[in-house]
Amino acid sequence: MSFPEISKIIGQKIKTLRLEMKISQQDLAAACNFEKSNLARIEAGRTNPTVGTLEKICQALNVPISKLFESIE
């Protein structure tokens, strides 16, 4: 599996978790201390986020970082 494919899967997982928790992109981005446009790119899989960025997102969503990788084989 390529990095772009992995980025898309992770982004979709973040979006799914965010929507399940009924959190807007703006609110999640603010909780992570970055711009909404950055979160939008991550959710769309158009960027390769760092582990630190993923950790911030997971902390804001109150899930372990491993949750993002559950569906990746």
- Give the per-residue pLDDT at 2: 83
pLDDT < 50 stretches in the chain: none
- Give the per-residue pLDDT at 73: 67
Q: Token pair of 15, please?
A: 């979006």
Secondary structure of 14-60 as H, E, C letters: HHHHHHHCCCCHHHHHHHHCCCHHHHHHHHHCCCCCCHHHHHHHHHH
Q: What is the pLDDT of residues 12-21, one digit of tens each?
A: 999 999 999 9
Q: Token pair of 44, please?
A: 């769309």
Model pTM score: 0.92
Cα separation of 9 and 15, whole Å? 10
Other Cβ atoms less than 10 A from the Cβ of 36: the count is: 14
- Give the per-residue pLDDT at 72: 75
